[in-house]
Amino acid sequence: MNRRTLLIGASALGLVAFGGGAFVLSQRRQAEAEAVAAAAPAVDEALLIRSYSPILGPVDAPVTLVEFFDPSCEACRAFHPVVSEIRRQFPTQVRVVMRYTLFHEGSDEAARILETARMQNKFEQVLGAILEKQPTWALHDGPQMDVAWRIAGAAGLDLNKAESDKLFPAITATINQDTADVEALGIRQTPTFFLNGKLLENVSAESLTADVRLAVESV
């Protein structure tokens, strides 16, 4: 056996060892994720999903991600493309349920913008625009709601109709019920995510994607 043969053999063994190590690490991470999911207490689904709650994705998808969000929240804006990418990766397996968690000044009116958009079947596109351009209207020294309305109009919202609909009793009832559910669940920060009824803690973009992927693979 010559030196070259020895080197090739050593390299092959190294690759096998590396591959085995990567597999073990992957298995360990999956086991840890499953353990965390099993330890998380399930929550009363009635508090998580209401019959009126906006749903992005197939209503009968086997995996449900509930996001409690505030349209004025910077972290919610940062997570929006992450959630959109999850939906892109799992178009038939995941549905995202949106719940209003209105902690900031101006968020009540922002929710009314989104609800009037939903009445016009334009919720998703207006939501994307409102979050993308959030820095132009959700200012720290006071929200500029006229700017938020213009953004919604540019995204396709019929502003004249929305103006007459924004105080519609059903919209007020939606906001009030979401607020009551947020209080009942003890939610104190946004976004807060529940995956198949279980609270996700210390969420990052990477962990959220990994948790959803594991849930999809477990179906």
Task: List the CATH number of the domain containing 159.
Answer: 3.40.30.10
Q: Residue 28 pLDDT more than 90?
A: no
Average pLDDT of span 13-25? 48
Amino acid making up residue 22: A
CA distance 3 to 122: 68
d(CA 163, CA 6): 78
Q: Is a pLDDT exceeding 90 seen at residue 169? A: yes
- Residues 157 and 214 both lie in one domain: yes
Co-location of 103 and 184 in the same domain: yes
Query: Has residue 16 got a pLDDT over 50?
Result: no
* 109 and 55 inside one domain: yes
Distance CA(197)–CA(58), nearest Å, equals: 17
> Nearest CA to 186 among 204, 206, 201?
201
**Are 85 and 52 in a shared domain?**
yes
Query: How large is the greatest C-alpha to C-alpha distance in the chain, in angstroms?
Result: 86
Same domain, 108 and 197: yes
Q: Peptide bond before 71: cis, by omega within 30 degrees of 0?
A: no
pLDDT in tens, 91-124: 999 999 999 999 999 999 999 999 999 999 999 9
| pLDDT mean over 138-149 | 97
Query: What domain count does the chain have?
Result: 2
Same domain, 73 and 22: no
Enter the pTM of the model.
0.82
Q: What confidence tier does 27 reach under pLDDT thresholds 50, 70, 90?
A: low
One domain for residues 109 and 151: yes
- If asked whether residues 111 and 186 sit together in one domain, one would say yes
211 shares a domain with 153: yes
The rounded distance, in Å, linking the Cα atoms of 153 and 148 is 9
Residue with tokens 């719940």: 99
Same domain, 7 and 107: no
Whether the CB-CB separation of 101 and 69 falls below 8 Å is answered with yes
Give the span between the Cα atoms of 1 and 115, in whole angstroms: 75
- pLDDT tier at 43, thresholds 50, 70, 90: confident
**Range with lowest mean pLDDT among 26-35, 37-46, 69-78:** 26-35
Range of the domain at 8: 1-39
Tokens of 100: 């209003």
In terms of domains, do 123 and 184 share one? yes
Do residues 10 and 103 share a domain? Answer: no
Token pair recorded at residue 208: 């959220």
